[in-house]
Chain A
Amino acid sequence: MIKIENLTKHYHAAQGRIEAINGLNLEVDDGEIFGMIGPSGAGKSTLIRMLNLLEKPTSGTININGTDLTELSSQNLRAARQKIGMIFQHFNLLSSRTVLGNVAFPLEIAGVSKKKRRKKAKELIELVDLSDRADHYPAQLSGGQKQRVGIARALANEPDLLLSDEATSSLDPESTKAVLELLGRIRDEMNLTIILITHEMGVIKDICDRVAVLEAGQIIEEGSIIDIFSKPQKALTKKFISSVIDFDLPERIIKYVQKERPGELIRISFVGEKTHDPYISDLVKHYSVDANILYGNIDEIQGVPFGTLVLDLEGQLTNIEESIAYLKSQGLRVEVLDNV
C-alpha cells in the first residue's frame, strides 16, 4: 500500500548541507501498525512529515495506494491529504474552537455540509469517549484528552492512513496507555494503516506489528516486533530493546561467570510456542549433562511469550558441546557466556 523508494531529504543550514534522510526504502502493508524508532536527529520526524508532504523530499517517491504524492499538483495534494490523518506530539488543536469545532474542522475544509459534519464529529467524539467534553475548549482538557481530540479530528475524513508524530511523547504513562489502546482499537475497527514514530520502545512493543530502526537518516534494521525483540542485530536496536526488556544479567550472575568453574554457562533466548517445550529435561536426559538454572525471565510482547534463561551446564566437554548444538538445532538462540 505504501511504498517509499530512494527517499532523500537534504537541508541547507548554516553548518552546510544536512542529510536528514538518505536513500530510504520502505513498504508498509494495509492495516498494519508500523513503528519507526530512532534517537533524536535520526530523521524520524522528517520522514513522517514527508509522508504527507509537509516536508518536501529532495528526491525519491512516496507511493500511497498507487499514487505518487511527489507528483501531485498542489490541489490534488490537498485532496490526497484529506485521506491521510495526522496526530502530533503537541496536539495542535485550534484554541478558538471547542472539541466539537476541532473535530468538525477537517470536514469543513473538505466542504462537508454543516449538518453532516456535526453528526460525524459527534460520532467521533463518542468513539474517543469525550462526549461530555464536546463543548469544552482545548485549554480545559488534559493532555490525554487533547490527544484523543486530535485522533478524532484525524479520523474525520475517514482516512486510509494515520500518521502519528510522537503522539504519546508528552503524555503521562496512563494517558499513553489509553491513547495506544485507542489507536489499536481504531486500526481494528476501521482497518486503518498507522505509521508512527517514537523514541520510546515501549510504544513499539505495545502496539506495532513491525518496526524499523532509524539511524542517521537510514533504516538500519527492520522486521516484525517479535523478530526484532528476539533477534536484534544492531547495537542501537539492542539498546532500545533493553529500555523495555531487561537483558542485563544481575550482578550475582556476572560474578559467577567471572569465577573459575567447571562446565559452561549459556544463555538461551526463546520466543512464542518454544517456551512450552521441555528442552532442558531433554538436555539432561539425552546428553548426560547437568543443567542448573541460574537466572531467567519471561516477558510477553503482544501476547507472545518471550524469554531468556541462563544455564550452567556441567559434564563432559563433548557432551556440553553436543547439547549446545542440539539447542541451536531447535531454533533457540544460544550464547556461551565466558565474559560478561
Chain B
Amino acid sequence: MFNFITDLARYNELMISGSLETLYMVGMSLFFAIVGGIPLGVLTTITRPGHILPNKPLNFILDGIINIGRSIPFIILMVAVIPFTRMIVGTSIGTNAAVVPLSLAAIPFMGRVTDNAILEIDHGVVESAQSMGASPLQIVFKVLLPESLPAIILGLTLTSISLVSYSAMAGAVGGGGLGDIAIRYGYQRFQLPIMLETIVILVVLVQLIQFLGNQLASFFDHKS
C-alpha cells in the first residue's frame, strides 16, 4: 500500500496511452455507428407500413439485421468476426482490429436508437410536410432528422457509453486500451491501484460523455 502513489506515477504514461487507445476505439466506432447506424435506422422507420416509403420486404430485412446484430453478445461477436476483421484490417489484434467488432455492434444499436427516435415524431408533422408536397428525401432531411435530433444525440450518448464498456472487453482480448491495462496489470499482476485507476478513468469518461450528450441534446431541443 505504501507505494500506491509511486506505483501510479510510474504507470502514468501507460495510463495516458491506454486512455487514448480507448478514446480512439470509441471515437472510430462511433463514427461508423453514425455513418452506418443512422441511415439504417432512418431506412427502417420510413419503410414501415404507413410511413413515407412503405416497403414490407425491405423493412423486414432491415429490422432483422438490427435485431440479429443486437442479440449477439459482444464477446461472442468479437470472436465470431475475427476472419472478417483480418480481411479488413489485416490483423485481429490491436486497436484498429477492435474497431471492427465495435462498429458492428454499434451500427445496429444506433439503428434501433434512430428508429425509435424517429418514431417518436408525431405522424401529423410528417403528414403536414407531405401535404406541402415534400418529397421523401426532403421529409428525411428537413423533418425527420431535425425533429429527432435531440433524441438521436441522446442515443449517440448511450451508444458511446456502451462502446466504452465494449472497448474494455475488446481490450481484454488484445485490443489495447484501458480494459487491456486493467486485465494485464490490475488482474493478472494483482496491481490493485492500477485496476482502481482504470475504473476511475472509465467512470469519469462515462460521466463526461453523458454530461456533454445531455447539454448538446437540450441545446437542440425546443419542445419545451
The interface of chain A, by Cβ under 8 A from chain B, is 52, 54, 77-82, 84, 86, 88, 90, 92-97, 105-106, 108-110, 137-139, 153, 157, 163
Contacts and interface: CB of A to CB of B under 8 A. Distances in A.
Nearest to A78: B133
Nearest to A80: B133
Nearest to B149: A96
B125 A92 contact: yes
Contacts of A157: 132
Contacts, number: 69
Which of B132, B147, B222 gathers most chain A CB within 10 Å?
B132
Nearest to A90: B124
A306 B122 CA distance: 44
A81 B147 contact: no
Interface of B: 122, 124-125, 127-135, 138, 142-143, 146-147, 149, 220, 222-224
Contact of B223 (A54, A80, A90, A139): A139
A88 to B, nearest CB: 6
Contacts of B142: 105, 108-109
A134 B142 CA distance: 19
Contact of B128 (A78, A80, A86, A95): A86
A81 B129 contact: no
6 contacts: A82-B132, A88-B124, A92-B124, A94-B125, A96-B222, A109-B129
A110 B134 CA distance: 8
A79 B132 CA distance: 9
B125 A106 contact: no
Contacts of A88: 124, 127-128
Nearest to B143: A94
Nearest to B132: A106
A52 B131 contact: yes
B147 A78 contact: no
Contacts of B129: 105, 109
Per CB-CB distance, the 4 closest pairs between chain A and chain B, nearest first, are A81-B133, A92-B128, A78-B133, A137-B222
Given A90-B124, A105-B142, A95 B132 contact: no
A81 B131 contact: yes
A106 B129 CA distance: 8
Given A54-B127, A96-B220, A139-B222, A82 B146 contact: no
B128 A109 contact: no
Given A54-B130, A82-B132, A137-B222, A109 B138 contact: yes
B147 A109 contact: no
Contacts of A96: 146-147, 149, 220, 222
Contacts of A95: 125, 147, 222-223
A88 B122 CA distance: 13
B55 to A, nearest CB: 15
A94 B222 CA distance: 10
B199 to A, nearest CB: 39
Nearest to B222: A137
B73 to A, nearest CB: 37
A90 B131 contact: no
A76 B112 CA distance: 34
Nearest to B127: A54
Given A78-B133, A90-B122, A109-B132, 16 more contacts: A52-B131, A54-B127, A81-B130, A81-B131, A86-B131, A88-B128, A92-B122, A92-B125, A92-B128, A96-B147, A105-B129, A105-B132, A109-B138, A138-B222, A139-B222, A157-B132
A49 to B, nearest CB: 8
Contacts of B138: 109
A105 B131 CA distance: 12
